[in-house]
Amino acid sequence: MHKKFYRALERLLHNIDTSTGDERMLSSVVKLLVSPENAQLFGIASGRVYRERALDFVLIESVGEYGEAIEGKTVQKDYALVRHLLEHRLWLFRPDSPGYDAALEAQFSHMNNAAIAVGQNPIYIVSFGVENEDRGDLLVMLEAIRAAIGLKLRQSTLEGQMRQAQAIQASLLPRQLPKLAGFDLAARTVPADEVGGDVYDVQPLEPRMLGILIADASGHGLPAALQARDVIVGMRMGQSHNEKITALVERLNRVVHQTILVSRFITLFYAELEDTGNVTYVNAGHNPPLLIARDGEVFQLQTSGPVLGPLPDAVYRRCYMTLRPGELLVLFTDGVIERTAPDAADDDEHEAREFGLEHLVPICLANRHRDAAAVVEAVIAAVRDFGGGLPLQDDVSVLAIKREEVTGDHLAESLTPISLSLNDLHTGGGRRGSSGA
């Protein structure tokens, strides 16, 4: 009997939707327990849900017996059986129970009742009209239901917190990227969990300049999301005070060091793009962005300082490059190049096969003549396909900047070509950029 009961209870609670909120979830549980297919098994003929108020409990759901007609009725907190229930968290209400008020009980049910108290702030009382007269079985059933509902309530609370975290994180990401004449920008992040540690941001600094950021907090999930939030907020505060790029990153590093565990860190790439195509940037331990030239040459914007967090006195140098007409700059996070193929998932003898630059670079090259949004979507689709449809192991973010083509006298100065293989990617500093303190 008990095995059958537990299996049925597990199936019942598995189908409860916790995203609707505590009260709707409790109402759903009561309705299912009292439904014809379950009532006989559980020995429950009616059910009621009461919500705590300052001095009493108000009935918010009634199923069976008197039904909706009694919803809104109240029972005082100082009622003896309520006090017993709140102390012990479960109680059997019978006419021979000490302090039993027959007139009061008759307003709600004509049966013996088994009740549980669940939740905190507010507390809910879930009361059942029961047909089972075996006290031992009743207590076993009641405790099992109370424990199961408690788990569902905690799950509902956690899901609610995660939804709030999602909303906060979504509010930090720009809904639309600001415009800069002559440039096309697009970005997207796909978290591995409900929330992720990847963030990007594009903010207008001056009428003819944008601040562009992509960052990746170590790990993923809620802790990483909170760290990533601090980066966005910290950078925007510095931008609003017109801080110099290296001073801005160094101050942010000190803030991150003080607010996170030393075992955690954040990588960051931050650039200031002018409408002339001039780019000043700092790369704090982030994956070097890919610069795709018009002729198909590929360059990387290498690191100019350590990751944020572990070293409070770290020094960062600013670097320079020029994004010329027809060129593409692709920023990305670890989740892109470290995506593993499913064929190595269960193989302990061989290193997992990763997406890597050897897959990312050809996709960027193949799509370099398309708009920025198409580049972003092509990369993310390829990353998903490479994993064989399995869930992402890490957050995936891509930000693409495409400088629009110009013709005639407006063409930028010609470049000196440097042949590169996929195994010889390096910084564009030797070709058209430089770095400084």
pTM over 0.85: no
Homologous superfamily, domain 2-165: GAF domain (3.30.450.40)
Residues facing 62 on adjacent strands:
48
Q: For residue 262, what pLDDT is reported?
A: 46
Instruction: Label the pairing between strands 318-322 and 278-284.
Output: antiparallel
CB-based burial label for 2 (10 Å; 0-12, 13-18, 19+): exposed
How many other CB atoms sit within 10 Å of the CB of residue 386? 19
Instruction: Report how far residue 116's alpha carbon sits from residue 108's, in angstroms, rounded to the nearest whole number.
Output: 16
Q: What residue type is 89 in one-letter code? A: R
Q: For residue 19, what pLDDT is reported?
A: 55
**Helices 22-34 and 2-14 meet at what angle, rounded to 10?**
140
For the chain, residues classed under CATH 3.60.40.10 are: 173-436
pLDDT in tens, the chain (437 residues): 455 555 666 666 665 555 556 788 888 888 888 888 776 777 788 999 999 999 999 999 999 999 999 999 999 999 999 999 999 888 888 888 899 999 999 999 988 888 989 888 899 999 999 876 655 566 666 777 777 777 766 666 666 666 666 666 677 788 899 999 999 999 999 988 777 788 999 999 999 999 999 999 886 666 777 777 788 888 988 888 888 999 999 999 998 888 765 457 899 999 999 999 999 999 999 999 999 999 999 999 988 899 998 899 999 999 999 999 999 999 999 999 999 998 754 555 567 799 999 999 999 999 999 999 999 999 999 999 999 988 998 999 999 999 998 765 444 343 333 333 444 444 444 445 556 65
Three-state DSSP state, 127: strand
Return the structure tokens found at 75: 């029972």
Topology of the domain comprising 173-436: Phosphatase 2c; domain 1 (3.60.40)
For the chain, residues classed under CATH 3.30.450.40 are: 2-165
